[in-house]
């Protein structure tokens, strides 16, 4: 997928008909800037069409049973993209619909973001097996998907979170199980300074995710030692880059001096969302190798 995303970025004209005749629908229970626009722009650039349904005023299954929605959608569209609160909504849609369902974010995972992040790291450093990434902050959906992606790629990752705010135990167990097969190195820590020592990239995210706003005050008291600032960043390798999935709460989880520095790749990550998601949809809907240009497939 990362290889295809790189090809799609470097030779976009080769893929302008990859999704010709295909229609995608998006249902978003949470607000979005990057996710919505990158899916819309990506589908359009591949010759497909896309519809957006704003679900921010109510959960997807609030008015109608989820299975009924799924069986309707599978008659009309070629793929369903969901941005939800409950991960069970995505699982349920995937269970009932006979067309591909893409997780564009849930409270448990954010796989499109993690794939884009590792595409960014691959472009910057090359061999992902040699890269060591440190994530510091809340053990949230982004941390979960970074863990699983690093494990699948055989990469190296450290996760540092405050006590009581660690990553989901099942996700961690799954990541370690995958790592046994791929050779990935995973460290689960509490000390942010230990986590960033000598790493190639430091990653952070908001201390309170969407839906956790009522916890913001308490988290603001607990999380300051995990702020990515000049002092913390000094422990990383001299060439280390700084990452954030955005939107950022400047002055909280990350300082202006870090996010605006020449070593910040946050907007590269945002661009990578476009290419990663184009690759996901092309692999799901592009009709196999017949839709992928031969000269590109072996580049």
Shared domain check, 162 and 175: yes
Is 197 designated active site?
no
The catalytically annotated residue of 22, 36, 144, 273 is: 273
- pLDDT value at residue 280: 98
The catalytically annotated residue of 36, 110, 219, 275 is: 110
Is 291 designated active site?
no
Is 205 designated active site?
yes
- pLDDT value at residue 210: 76
Shared domain check, 92 and 27: yes
Is 245 designated active site?
yes
- pLDDT value at residue 299: 28
Shared domain check, 220 and 128: yes
Shared domain check, 174 and 41: no
Shared domain check, 131 and 23: no
Is 83 designated active site?
yes
The pLDDT tens digits for 225-282 are 999 999 999 999 999 999 999 999 999 999 999 999 999 999 999 999 999 999 999 9
Q: Number of folded domains in the chain?
A: 2
**Residue 29 sits in a domain of what CATH number?**
3.40.50.1370
- Residues with pLDDT less than 70, the chain: 287-299
The verdict on residue 127 lying in a domain is yes
The catalytically annotated residue of 245, 269, 275, 277 is: 245
Is 249 designated active site?
no
- The residue range of the domain holding 137 is 111-264
The verdict on residue 180 lying in a domain is yes
Shared domain check, 284 and 260: no
The verdict on residue 269 lying in a domain is no
Shared domain check, 235 and 164: yes
Shared domain check, 88 and 12: yes
Shared domain check, 243 and 293: no
The catalytically annotated residue of 55, 78, 113, 144 is: 113
SS3 letters across the chain: CHHHHHHHHHCHHHHCCCCCCCEEEEEECCCCCHHHHHHHHHHHHCCCEEEEEECCCCCCCCCCCHHHHHHHHHHHCCEEEEECCCHHHHHHHHHHCCCCEEECCCCCCCHHHHHHHHHHHHHHHCCHHHCEEEEECCCCHHHHHHHHHHHHHCCEEEEECCCCCCCCHHHHHHHHHHHHHHCCEEEEECCHHHHHCCCCEEEECCCCCCCCHHHHHHHHHHCHHHCECHHHHCCCCCCCEEEECCCCCECCCECHHHHCCCCECHHHHHHHHHHHHHHHHHHHHCCHHHHCCHHHHCC
């Amino acid at each position: 997928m990362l290889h295809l995303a790189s090809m799609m970025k470097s030779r976009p004209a080769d893929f302008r008909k990859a999704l010709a005749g295909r229609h995608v629908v998006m249902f978003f229970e949470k607000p979005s800037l990057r996710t919505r626009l990158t899916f819309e722009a990506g589908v359009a650039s591949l010759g497909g069409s896309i519809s957006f349904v704003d679900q921010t005023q109510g959960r997807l299954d609030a008015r109608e049973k989820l299975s009924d929605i799924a069986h309707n959608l599978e008659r009309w569209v070629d793929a369903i993209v969901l941005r939800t609160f409950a991960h069970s909504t995505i699982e349920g849609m995937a269970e009932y619909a006979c067309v591909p369902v893409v997780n564009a974010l849930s409270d448990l995972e954010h796989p499109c973001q993690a794939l884009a992040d590792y595409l960014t790291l691959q472009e910057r450093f090359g061999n992902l097996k040699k890269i060591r990434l440190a994530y510091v902050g809340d053990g949230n959906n982004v941390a979960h998907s970074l863990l699983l992606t690093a494990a699948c790629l055989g990469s190296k990752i450290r996760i540092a979170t405050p006590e009581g705010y660690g990553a989901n135990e099942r996700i961690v167990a799954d990541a370690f199980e995958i790592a046994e097969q791929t050779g990935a190195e995973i460290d689960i820590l509490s000390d942010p300074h230990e986590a960033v020592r000598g790493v190639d990239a430091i990653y952070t995210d908001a201390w309170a995710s969407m839906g956790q706003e009522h916890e913001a005050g308490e988290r603001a008291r607990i999380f300051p030692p995990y702020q990515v600032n000049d002092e913390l960043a000094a422990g990383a390798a001299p060439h280390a880059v700084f990452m954030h999935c955005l939107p950022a709460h400047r002055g909280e989880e990350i300082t202006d001096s870090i996010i605006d520095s020449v070593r910040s790749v946050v907007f590269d990550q945002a661009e990578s969302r476009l290419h990663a998601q184009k690759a996901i949809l092309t692999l799901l809907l592009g009709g196999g190798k017949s839709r992928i240009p031969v000269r590109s497939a072996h580049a």
